[in-house]
Structure formats: C-alpha cells, structure tokens
Amino acid sequence: MANILVNAYFYYTNTNASDIYISQEVRFLDEGSISNAMRYQVRISNALGLINGDDLGYFYPSDGATRAEATAVIKRLLKLLELM
C-alpha cells in the first residue's frame, strides 16, 4: 500500500523522491521485517504523514490493512493533495 500511496502522490504533485526529505532513523520497531525494496517507500509514506503505525511503534508489514486502515490512509492522501 505504501508504494501505491507514494506513487499516487508523486504522480499528482509531479514530484519525485528527491523532493522529499526523510531521515534514515528507524521509525518502526519492526522496520527490519519490511522488505528492502519497500522500506524507502514506507519511510516516504511516513514522512508525508500517510502511514503512522500503531501506538506501540509497530508497522506490521506482513499484515494486510483493514478496510478502516485503508480508508484512513486514502483520506490522508486526499487531504494532503487538497482534494478533500
């Protein structure tokens, strides 16, 4: 989901990853279980405020998103893009 969100953001804003500042610090306690291919996308999604993880600091990358979680991140993306 992070990849889709980030690609949608880049497409709509006509920007790319070099236009967004992200730190390399670990944001989620289970970040090591995020695939290397998707870790950067998850960090960008987090920097944009789209994906936050849970209150304990976990992301749970192998779990699917619930409908409520998917709705929340799509709503955040639409607000970020000022479409809502």
Per-residue pLDDT of the chain (84 residues), as tens digits, is 999 999 999 999 999 888 888 876 778 999 999 999 899 999 999 999 999 989 999 999 999 999 999 999 999 999 999 998
| Selection from 20, 17, 75, 36 nearest residue 65 by Cα | 75
**How far is it, in rounded angstroms, from Cα 64 to Cα 84?**
25
Using a cut of 0.75, tell me whether the model's pTM lies above it: yes
d(CA 56, CA 36): 22
Sequence ranges of the domains in the chain: 2-80
DSSP code, position 15: -
